Amino acid sequence: MSELGEELRKRIHPIETVDRSVLEVLDYTYGQKRDISVYIDQPEFTSLCPLSALPDFGRITIRYTPAEKIVELKSLKYYLLQYRNVGVFYEHVVNRILDDLVAVLAPHFMEVVGAFTPRGGITTTVTVKHGTERD
């Protein structure tokens, strides 16, 4: 591997370095009265390719129906920023985000979509869900 390639690979952190404890939750007082759909869009998501250490760019969309808790948005931003130096495949990152958010929020329903920019002429969109959408 070239010197540059070795230098890039030194920047990769494992996914285990992402700390979900930065996620702050707030009480949602209307959870027993009515269902709402919360839609969060992060159009500047970055992580690293675990093979090449080159940056991957994408849009993470989170949609959920809260039960008793909602996520505080600044803490979510800091949580997602942790992936900037993490080497992770697209399929793994959306699953990890879903797992972490479900663990702290326990929503009725949640969907995480990762729409990643083209690499080598191929675009990838990954969707993962928890629970069942309620009418």
List pLDDT tens digits, range 73-123: 999 999 999 999 999 999 999 999 999 999 999 999 999 999 999 988 999
pLDDT tens, residue by residue, 3-18? 756 666 667 898 999 9
pTM tops 0.85, yes or no = yes
Which two structure tokens, joined as six digits, stand for 91? 């399929």
Strands across the sheet containing 55-65: 38-48, 55-65, 109-119, 122-131
| pLDDT for 30 | 82
Where are the chain's structural domains? 3-131
Task: Give the separation between CA 128 and CA 61, rounded to whole angstroms.
Answer: 11
The residues that are catalytic are: 49, 56
* Residue 117 CA, distance from chain mean position: 15
Which two structure tokens, joined as six digits, stand for 112? 């995480």
Which two structure tokens, joined as six digits, stand for 110? 């949640």
CATH topology of domain 3-131: GTP Cyclohydrolase I, domain 2 (3.30.1130)
Question: Phi, psi at residue 28, to the nearest 5°?
Answer: -110, 105
| pLDDT for 35 | 86
Task: List the beta strands (DSSP E) in 49-108.
Answer: 55-65, 69-71
pLDDT-wise least confident of 1-5, 31-35, 44-48, 112-116: 1-5
Nearest to 50 by CA among 12, 82, 84, 19: 12
Nearest to 42 by CA among 8, 83, 95: 83
